[in-house]
Amino acid sequence: MKTATLSPVVRIDEDRCNNCYACIAACPVKLCMDGSGSKLLINTSLCIGCGNCIDACHHKARLIIDDTLLFFWDLKREVKMVAIVAPAIASFFPGKYLNFNGYLKSIGIEAVFDVSFGAELAVASYISHIKENNPRMVISQPCPAIVNFIQIYHPELLPYLAPVDSPMLHTIKMIREFYPQYRDHRIAVISPCIAKRREFDETGLADYNVTMLALKNKMDEHGLQVGSFPKEDYTGPKAERAVRFSSPGGLLETAERFSPGIGRRTLTIEGGHVTYPYLEEVSRLLDTDIRLPLLLDCLNCEKGCNGGPGTGQNKTPRVVLDNPIRERSDTMEAFHKTGKGGRQTKRYHKIVGKYWKKGLYKRDYKDYSKNNSLREPNELQLTEIYHSLRKYKPEDIYDCTACGYGTCRAMAMAIFNKLNKPENCAHHNIELLAEEKKLILDMNRQLYSYQLRSHRPNPGT
């Protein structure tokens, strides 16, 4: 198995980087960061694309890579294009997400599809997989950072990733299959996520990953207000509760309509500080009889896709981000409410069924674990590294986190793999200063002693 070159999704402005380690501290995998030089660089083939380093960098040395420039360049060349828009748009432009469709139409997009309906299809695919194959566990995969994490670092979990497309890819395949008039159009994805570029490269199904933040910045440059554009509805069928997909728990709420009671066997977690350690724990339990959740609904971003790195809204309170989604959800549920209880659900599932086709939305995953060639030091090597850090006894293992790795052992692992250096350890530098101070004091004492001897009166005179 060869190593794979993965698309970069974060670029470094080296002039702004001051080697502060904040990006290492924020990174859930850490060893994709190279701190061996004067600037902190990224090994793209080990990066999962979570975007945490962008939020953590107060110096703006970490910047998003997306396809916005190419997108506008091709529109200027009158390339035929349709767009699919992630459900987070309702949070990004509260009350004006349909005006945003009007903006897209004004710049040359021929049709705009709602990824929320792709989410309805995705949940139908999940339920179909669970009913047909009775899996021990299904790990949700709308979040490409989580998929990347498993592909690179924990390939033993690949068989448990839902073997179906993400909501975005469901939407794209739906367009290709059921809308022949757009079959040859390029597809632009209006996204809250920078890691989606990886998903599109691997599957070859989308042409542009255009982040919401980049589009808003473009509008601001031209003095455009989204509310000034006419409201334009989406092309295609309307979603129901899957418009909540961008909020934590949105997948589960949609799955409950398809399979009432599934929530009792579902675990919903979000935020890299919780999700990745949990996945590592699960990977260690695969050979045991421990009962695992049937459905693991997990997201990298603590506030869901509404606070994704492509929105710039990570610091916005979650309740503020979620409210517009809930309002839209209430509107869509009221729109589809044409009966009581089961009749309403059955009617909507018929709408979903028109666009769901067995085998159409199947997904396979590539194993990128060959990229992870990092070596673990043995105890002798670990001791040697600790000595280079001026750590000679157990009390010197401070785990102070100043280096960003969280533990001295993790820092030692980075040094062993030439991804960092002793000079970036606070304890090393404190001890070095203490040694230099002692050396200077000793030199001063010797000099003072010499001066005393040199000026002592000679008793023979």
State how far the Cα of 91 lies from the Cα of 248, in Å rounded to an integer.
13
Assigned token pair, 375: 């070596």
Checking if the pLDDT of 254 tops 60, the result is yes
pLDDT tens, residue by residue, 145-177:
999 999 999 999 999 999 999 999 999 999 999
Between CA 45 and CA 3 the distance in angstroms is 8
Residue 350 phi/psi, 5° resolution? -65, -40
pLDDT digits over 82-132, tens only?
999 999 999 999 999 999 999 999 999 999 999 999 999 999 999 999 999
Query: How close are the terminal C-alpha atoms of the chain, in Å?
Result: 89
pLDDT exceeds cutoff 80 at 245: yes
Collapsed DSSP state (helix, strand, coil) of residue 190: strand
| 356: Cβ contacts below 8 Å, ≥ 6 apart | 121, 124, 125
Residue 440's pLDDT band (boundaries 50, 70, 90)? Answer: confident
What average pLDDT does the structure give for the chain? Answer: 92
pLDDT above 70 for 459: no
CA 257 from chain centre, in angstroms, equals 27
Query: Is 0.85 surpassed by the pTM of this model?
Result: yes
Please report the DSSP string for 111-180 in residue order: -EEEHHHHHHHHHHHHHHHHHHH--S-EE--S-HHHHHHHHHH-GGGGGGB-SB--HHHHHHHHHHHH-G
Q: What is the DSSP letter of 406?
A: S
Alpha carbon distance 284, 258 (integer Å):
31
Structure tokens at 15: 């002039």
Please give the backbone phi and psi of residue 85, each rounded to the nearest 5 degrees, phi first: -120, 130
User: So what's the pLDDT on residue 439?
Assistant: 73
